[in-house]
Structure formats: structure tokens, C-alpha cells
Amino acid sequence: MSFVDTLRQWDEAVTCADRQDWSEALSIFLSIEQPNSKICFDIGCLHLLNQELDAAEKAFDCSIRKDEHLAVAFFQRGVTFYKKERYEESSADFQGAFKALRNNQLIDYKALGLRYILYACEVLHNIALAEAQLGNWEKAQENLAKALDYKTEAKLSIIDKALQATLKQKLFKLVEFPSKTLFKPNKHYVAELEKKDYLGKAKVVASVVPQDEFSGFAPLQPQVEDGPAAPKEPEVLRALEGEAHTVLFEFVPETSNELAVVPGNIVFVLQKGADNWAYVVFNERKGLVPYNYLERLEISLGSKPAKGVARLHSRDPPSRPMRIQGLTPSSSSRNTQQQITHPTDSCFVKIHFTFNFAISVPCGSPYVLLIEKISKKLNLPSTMISLSSDSRGKHLLDNMQMTDVWSRAQDGLITLWCTTKEQSDRKSEKEIYFVALHSYQSSKPEDLSFQEGDKIRLLSRVNQDWLEGQCNGNTGIFPASFAEEVPTNEQ
């Protein structure tokens, strides 16, 4: 069986399982001739769901033979042995799962197509339960104590309950894998299973100009395959630079800054001069053309189709207008005009706070407007916020100094540092330190890792269960139960 056939059947089986048609899903899985370790794992899960323990054991055996590092397969076979009351083999498999974790706190199988996180503390919890079934209560307590070093805040309760049970030499509940959760094939591979017509069929690509008859190529005209249900005229007009005009008569240039055009060409007028000359763009070239050689063209996706793009005249062209210095448009005068007519271009202000963020304001905005924007972003009163132009906060800003800051803007970007009165008051307070009671390995980017005995400087109290601190040059949050506050006289 080819890889494509295997992939297709795997996807069909998972789809049946999603509909909770377990028997059909299992039937499709068993018809796969050369199943990989993940498919064998899925087969074992479905047998386990049907309480077919012998078949489940064989399926997990096959999965482990094909991938001896698949920790979750060891875990599931351990659960199967436990249900068959073969506790020594169950304990051995749970230990195999813990070994495959390689001292990691957890393994997230999402990237491999399985929505499940295998926690080391849960594996150690099940080892302890298997040992308790064998009457080895001391080993059970040792494994649960070891689980404390690997536990996360979410798994704290099950470890504590198991420890209390072992002290009374009572059994506790097995942590089981959700058998309805299966490995799924890579969605990108599945998408490739559908047949594709790489050559395609001939299509009429719509022009922004109805019944387009112009010659040459107009610059920057967006084209769409299937026109949108509602016209998006503003988007089209933004994409086109200048106003569209049709050329009515042929124009032969006499100077280097004039542009040659022929009837039917579509040009875009960037600027019109008082002497009847127009500065236009055509085929990515710019130059001067007499404005009385042109006719304005209305471009709109919502407009009704016209019978023709423009009226092309067969009569003689009008006389060439006189060029008057100072009245004839040019590229330099257009740049000046753009600067005058667009004074409110937006700029980005990058703000360094306890986290970094950016706001968009008109270039040259006053200090008061920046403070108002940042106040809304941080949800703090504006009176509590101050800005500075350096990271140490020595150069606090005001309305007068903002002019100098804007003059140093590069590519429409300035960088400022923000402090709040709350932060300033916090700095004046005496620092509080905690000492780590247990080692904590971060499972998320925002967590703080530390070893037992490390000293942690408190930055803030997130809530009653979590604290924010700094240790060994790193900053992050950690469970409050993992550390103890150092008395003031010992700090």
C-alpha cells in the first residue's frame, strides 16, 4: 500500500471517529496494510475504549516496536496492564514512559497530531499506584515525592490527594489517557490528497475598465478572478496613482520631459498645470502631455459597462499649448504639492513599558495626544503616565521637547520609554525576597525557572497563587507554593 493510500484511509478513519462511529473507524484502521506507530496507537485506543484489553495490548506492542521513544504508547500499555491486574508490567511500562520523557516536565503531542499533553508528574503518580497495588508503599511514597518536583499548578491536587492516601495505605485513582483522542494525519498532507488541475481552464480576468480597449499597459491596475459581491471602489482608487484619462490624439514629444502617447492609451494625471499641460504616468514612465489631448475616464467597479472606453476622434488634434515657466507641472512641483496636501501622515511610536507596544499617531503630534493614546492603551489615568526619550528616564518630555523628538524620527518611527507613578512608588519600596522550596521548571515562555534554594526578588503579586519575580537574571511568574518569603531581618 502506498503512502497516499495509507494517508487517505487514516484520514477516513479519524473522520469516522470524530462522528463517534467507533466500529467503522476501527474497521478502516485494521484494513491498513502497513500501519505506522501512530496508527497502531489509535487502534489500541479504540480497542481499549471497547474494553478489548488483549487486542489493545497487541496494538500498543506494535506501536512501541515501530517507535521505541513514543512515551504515550508506553503510558497507554501501562494503563492496559493495570486494567488486566498485571501490576509489575504496568509499573515497568510507566517507568518506560517516564524514561522517554527525558527529565522533561511534559511532552505536548499537538505538533505530532495528537491533542494531548503527557505530564511527568502523572506518569510518576501511576507508577506509585502500581507499586501500591503490589504492597510497596514506601516506593509509592518515593515516586509521589519525586512527582512534586515535576508537578504543575494544574496537577497539584491529584499529587497531594495521592500522598495523603499512601500515608493511610489506601489506593487512589488511576490517571487515564482519554481513549477518544487519536493521532490525526498532517492536515497539509491531507489537503494534498485532493486532485488539482495545475494547468487550469481559460478564464477571463476582469479589468477595472469595463470593455477595456486601450493599447499598451496601464500601471498598477488591480485585476480579480471573480469580482467581489459588493464593489470596493475605495480600494481600487487607492491602488491607482492619479486620475485616469484616455488619450484622444497622438502626441509626439519635442523635449526630453514630454511623453509620447497614442489614441486609446490610458494615462494617469498626477498634476494639471494652469497652462493646459498635464504631468502624467504611463507604462511606469512620467512626463508632460497636453491636457486638451486627454479625456477623463471614470473608473468604478460599481459602474455600468459603457459601450466604449472613450470617444476616439478622427479629426485633427488641437494645437499644442504654450509652456509657461512656473505654470507647467513637473515632478519637483508635484513632490512639493504632496508635502503640502498630506501633512497628517501617520507615524508609529514604539513604547517601552513592562511590555513593548506601538501606537499610531499623526506625525508631529503633541505630548498631550501621545499621553491620551497611551492612557487608553494601559487603562490608566493620564496623570500617572510620564514619557522619556531614554531608557533610564532622565530626560522626561513635555510639549516643548516633543518638537525635537519628532525631528529625529526615522522612517516615520520614534521610540519612547514610559513609566507610571505606580512603578516609581514601587521602586521606592523596600525589595522583598523569596527562597525557593522546590525546583521549578518553566512549561511556558512567561514562567520563571529556578532550583531549590535559589533567591527570588519579588516584582509583583499576580494573584493569591502566582507571583512575578526575578532570579538569575531572568524574569517571569511562578507558583507561590514553590517559594517562601524571606524575613525582613534576613534580607
DSSP 242-268: SEEEEE-S-B--SSTTB--B-TT-EEE
* Residue pLDDT, tens place only, 417-475: 888 876 555 544 567 889 999 888 877 767 888 998 899 988 878 777 888 888 887 88
Q: What is the mean pLDDT of residues 144-160?
A: 79
The CA dihedral of 283, 286, 288, 290, to the nearest 10 degrees, is: 30
- Range with lowest mean pLDDT among 16-25, 93-102, 330-339, 370-379: 330-339
- CA distances to 2, 69, 220, 249 from 290, rounded to whole Å, are 69, 78, 23, 10
- Range with lowest mean pLDDT among 207-216, 266-275, 335-344: 335-344
Contacts of 21 (CB under 8 A, 6+ apart): none
364: left (phi over 0), alpha (psi -120 to 50) or beta: left
pLDDT at position 293: 92
Q: What is the mean pLDDT of residues 167-193?
A: 86
Displacement of CA 184 from its chain's centroid (Å): 22
Burial of 321 by CB count in 10 Å (0-12 exposed, 13-18 middle, 19+ buried)? middle
Alpha-carbon span 449 to 434, nearest angstrom: 14
Alpha-carbon span 444 to 105, nearest angstrom: 11
In this model, does residue 308 exceed pLDDT 50?
Answer: no
Alpha-carbon span 127 to 145, nearest angstrom: 12
> What are the cell numbers at 417?
520609554
pLDDT at position 96: 93
How many residues in total does the chain contain?
Answer: 491
In this model, does residue 60 exceed pLDDT 50?
Answer: yes
In this model, does residue 86 exceed pLDDT 90?
Answer: yes
Residue with more model confidence, 208 or 67: 67
* Residue pLDDT, tens place only, 275-300: 889 999 988 888 999 999 999 887 55
For residue 242, report the phi and psi dihedrals to the nearest 5 degrees.
Answer: 85, -175
In this model, does residue 67 exceed pLDDT 50?
Answer: yes
* Residue pLDDT, tens place only, 317-373: 777 777 666 666 765 555 544 433 333 467 888 888 877 777 888 888 888 888 888
Give percent above pLDDT 70 in the chain.
77
pLDDT at position 389: 81
Mean pLDDT across the chain: 79
- CA distances to 67, 294, 423 from 457, rounded to whole Å, are 44, 74, 16
Alpha-carbon span 109 to 45, nearest angstrom: 16
Burial of 488 by CB count in 10 Å (0-12 exposed, 13-18 middle, 19+ buried)? exposed
pLDDT at position 89: 94
Listed residue (19, 68, 69, 77) closest to 43, CA to CA: 77
Alpha-carbon span 44 to 93, nearest angstrom: 15
Burial of 192 by CB count in 10 Å (0-12 exposed, 13-18 middle, 19+ buried)? exposed
- The kind and range of the H/E element at 487 are none
DSSP string, 394-441: -SB--HHHHHHHHHT-BTTEEEEEEEEHHHHHHHHSPP-EEEESS-B-
In this model, does residue 406 exceed pLDDT 90?
Answer: no
pLDDT at position 241: 67
Q: What is the mean pLDDT of residues 394-414?
A: 77
- Range with lowest mean pLDDT among 143-157, 206-220, 358-372: 206-220
Is 0.85 topped by the overall pTM? no
- Range with lowest mean pLDDT among 40-54, 384-398, 441-455, 473-487: 384-398
Alpha-carbon span 332 to 224, nearest angstrom: 34
In this model, does residue 310 exceed pLDDT 60?
Answer: no
- Range with lowest mean pLDDT among 170-184, 237-251, 327-341, 358-372: 327-341
In this model, does residue 393 exceed pLDDT 80?
Answer: no
> What are the cell numbers at 461?
503579586
